[in-house]
Amino acid sequence: MSNEAVQLQVLEDGIVAIKMQDTESRNGFSDALKNGLLKAFAEIEQNKDYRVAILTGYDSYFCSGGTKKELIDFSNGVGDFMDIDLQSLALKCPIPVISAMQGHGIGGGFVMGLFADFIILSRESIYAANFMKYGFTPGMGATLILPHRFGEQLGTEMMFSARNYRGGELEQRGIGIPVVPREQVQARALELARSLAQKPRVSLITLKEHTTSYLRSNLGQYTDKELEMHKKTFHLPETKQRINALFGN
């Protein structure tokens, strides 16, 4: 499967790559990228030959999150982040997913990647839960996954500060996630994928069902609460002003 924004490619026996490559939006949540991701994960679920998937971006971009149009729509009461449940794609995928974040992961794009089973960050890239920078509270399950992946202290700091973190800084903060030079991310992901692909597919699926049970059972209540917070924060005049100012024209 391939479209202009998302390419699904078999790398080796049992290993499939999902490459986000929407250069026009810099891998923001354009309609093309969102639809491409939905189709890619649907195809993976149907194909019994796949044992592990690698989710990655292009050049220096992993995923940039919400587009200006999307955020303005949300601030005007048109739709919300649950319209397309991107945050749970990797989580609900039956086989293990590796997020090979070779490039910048911003906002919802960063959060989406964190719901994978395995994560590899780039030392040079920027990672940010920048929701509050625009004036609205975090969404897409960020309030669940950030403390879960980075610990309560750092995860909370990332949400409240909304600042940019280089992968190298996160590495120095002692996160339990591999951080390597950008040019090594894909090789590290493929090495891990090869190790996983040697295992029986049924065993991989069975173990993932167990290891993801906490996140799957709690994600709904967290996203419900995030939507409640958005009703208070997304429609603030200051939020719309910040979106327009920070995105520019």
Chain segment 95-136, per-residue pLDDT in tens: 999 999 999 999 999 999 999 999 999 999 999 999 999 999
Contact 96, 31 (CB under 8 A): no
At 93, which CATH number? 3.90.226.10
Q: Residue 50 domain-assigned?
A: yes
Q: Which residues are catalytic?
A: 230
Q: Whole-model pTM?
A: 0.96
Beta bridge partners of 222: none
The domain total for the chain is 1
Mean pLDDT of 21-38: 95
**Tens digits of per-residue pLDDT, 200-225?**
999 999 999 999 999 999 999 999 99
Domain coverage including residue 15: 6-183
How confident is the model over 219-237, as a mean pLDDT? 94
Nearest Cα residue to 158 out of 138, 178, 134:
138
Is the residue at 61 inside a domain?
yes
Is the Cβ–Cβ distance between 54 and 190 less than 8 Å? yes
For 129-160, the pLDDT digits (tens) are 999 999 999 999 999 999 999 999 999 999 99
- H or E element: which one contains 43? helix 31-46
